[in-house]
Structure 1
Amino acid sequence: MCIYLAGSFWGDPHIRTLDATNYTFNGLGEYVLLSIDAPNVTFALQARTERAIKKDGNLSDATIFTAFAAKDHLNSSVHIELNTDKDGESNQ
């Protein structure tokens, strides 16, 4: 028997956990979204949230994901960050 688990997130952030629980999380900071520590596999997914900016330029009370970092048991890693300049170019 194979059990398929999928989590997801969208918006300011709404989160669906691996056990299909939905909730809204407006925390501000850096968080571990997923951590797996099994005999042959380790994996970590981290995220950063910041206050959302309204169309008028003012800060919202809501937060959005602005960066993600993942690392696996082979020491492979990836970092993805929102381009806050909105000019289509990387800041790195």
Structure 2
Amino acid sequence: MHSTEDELDFYDALDLIDSSVQALGDKTLQAIARDLVETIRRNVTIDWTVKESVKANLRRLVKHLLRKYGYPPDKQEKAMVTVLQQAELLC
């Protein structure tokens, strides 16, 4: 896997111990992590953590991305929360 440290952090945030998530396979999970990093970087602003409208937009984008890749529906909410926590650390 050729990736950045940021991608690895998001990859680790995807609940990899769950078998339904593991079923997506490494290539798909890597693609999700890569797209998450790109999406977060494109959509954050300096004060995004205090602006509810920006946070709401990021939640929407992350949910859309997880659905796009077939991430298990019952795991999406937890993943979205974890991803946004990771985004706060990244930014």
Q: Same fold (TM over 0.5)?
A: no
Q: Which has the higher contact order (CA 8 A, sep 6+)?
A: 2
Higher strand share: 1
Which structure has the larger Rg?
Answer: 1
TM-score normalised by the shorter chain: which range applies?
under 0.3
